[in-house]
Structure 1
Amino acid sequence: MIQKDLAHACASEITSVIINDIGDNYFSLIVDESRDSSVKEQMGVVLRYVNKEGRVIERFLAIVHVSDTTSLCLKDAIDSLFAQHGLSLSKLRGQRYDGASNMRGEFNGLKALILQENPYAMYIHCFAHQLQLVIVAVAKGNIIVSEFFVYVSMIVNLTGASCKRRDQLRQIEHDKIVTLLDSGDIISGKGKNQETSLARPGDTRWGSHYLTLLRLSSMWASVIGILGNIQDDATTSDNRVFIGNHK
């Protein structure tokens, strides 16, 4: 309880400094929403403004739990957050979201609901999200690249399809590292040789593909071992052919 009280006190002081720094100036709103590990919908709120020294500042304000991701629910959450910190919607001059319909919808999206109250709150489609969509479209348009990542996803899904396989992969990787340490091929040290696992790539986070490839490359020998085990355990000829072709 004391730790939570300290965390809340620190958060309150930091938030107070941010609000005081904004003062009565205009500001912009950046919002994104996603589920957390406990499958609760969360909305992250960031404010962008120009401080007294003329520098453009971005400050994370809060993570707000929302019952659902409808535009009306998000708008109510923003109104409540603004009222809590004494922020006025009339001072809003920009709003930036991704391309989801609940955010950028022309008639019922969060953008439209805010514009109904403040026509000066210009909407800008998140440039990072736009770039992400371009990269995904270009990658899928190239047959070689597209098929390559299809195979990568298949391998990751196969090796992580069950707790048993994940445990086997972890154990094989552990045994490999121990062997390399004993032979002197790698050295130990703080932060080195940490336990890791394969990461699934996702189109909404292109950086996740890079992380997947890095981990797949470093754990390739262990992955081959797991695929061999799956092939041995396969009960149908179709499964044997599938695993054999993709090894």
Structure 2
Amino acid sequence: METALVQTTVDELKDKIASSKFVGLIVDETVNVVTEKKLILFWRVLNNTAKTETIFLGNYSVRSGTAKCIVDKIKEVFKEWGIPLNKVSGLGSDGASVMTGIRNGVGVKLLTKTPFSISP
């Protein structure tokens, strides 16, 4: 029963995300009590009444806190959810240099894959 409920919820979220023309990505990294690097992801989407909704995707383990590793995990999550990366229109983060660095930050690396993004 629980599995069916989870799948129904995930399917509904996938439909919301798929029906939104663009998505915003909110990203933050953290460390858990055993110092394992984690990446928290949220999507911001427009619902069918043109109001924004925030969808919690998950708290994912990452090998390291480098921009490359973070971008690789973001790409993996988008692929798992069946959402094309080019739907991203903005990136929200805490302003850490790994996220916002002008040469090798996550935003800059995603910008090559997200032509509509307004926030490198």
Q: Fold conserved (TM > 0.5)?
A: yes
**Residue 119 (structure 1) shift:** 3.1
Select which of 74, 77, 87 maps to 1:78. Answer: 74
* Alignment partner of 1:54 is 2:50: yes
Indicate the percent of aligned positions where both proteins have the same amino acid.
26
TM-score (norm 1): 0.45
Aligned to 1:63: 59
- Partners of 2:61 and 2:9 lie apart in 1 by 20
- Partners of 1:103 and 1:52 lie apart in 2 by 31
Q: Check conservation: 2:17, 2:83, Cα contact below 8 A.
A: no
Aligned amino acid, residue 31 of structure 2: R
**Residue 13 (structure 1) shift:** 3.4
Q: Check conservation: 1:15, 1:61, Cα contact below 8 A.
A: no
Aligned to 2:83: 87
**Residue 38 (structure 1) shift:** 2.5
Larger Rg: 1
Aligned length: 119
Greater helix share, 1 or 2? 1
Runs of 4+ residues deviating >3 angstroms: 8-13
- Partners of 2:33 and 2:4 lie apart in 1 by 25
* 1:56-94 deviation per Cα after TM superposition (whole angstroms, max 9, x unaligned): 111101111101010000000010100011011111111
- Partners of 1:57 and 1:23 lie apart in 2 by 13
Aligned amino acid, residue 109 of structure 2: L
Aligned amino acid, residue 72 of structure 1: K
- Partners of 1:39 and 1:118 lie apart in 2 by 31
* Alignment partner of 1:96 is 2:92: yes
Aligned to 2:13: 18
List gaps (5 residues or longer) in structure 1: 125-247
* 1:94-137 deviation per Cα after TM superposition (whole angstroms, max 9, x unaligned): 1111111110001100000001222321217xxxxxxxxxxxxx
Instruction: Kindly report which structure 2 residues correspond to 1:106-145, keeping only aligned pairs within 5 A, or say none.
Output: 106-123=102-119
Aligned to 1:16, what secondary structure does the other structure show? helix
- Partners of 1:31 and 1:9 lie apart in 2 by 29
- Partners of 1:10 and 1:36 lie apart in 2 by 28
List gaps (5 residues or longer) in structure 2: none
TM-score (norm 2): 0.89
Higher relative contact order (CA 8 A, sep 6+): 2
Tell me how large the CA RMSD over aligned residues is: 1.9
- Partners of 1:30 and 1:9 lie apart in 2 by 28
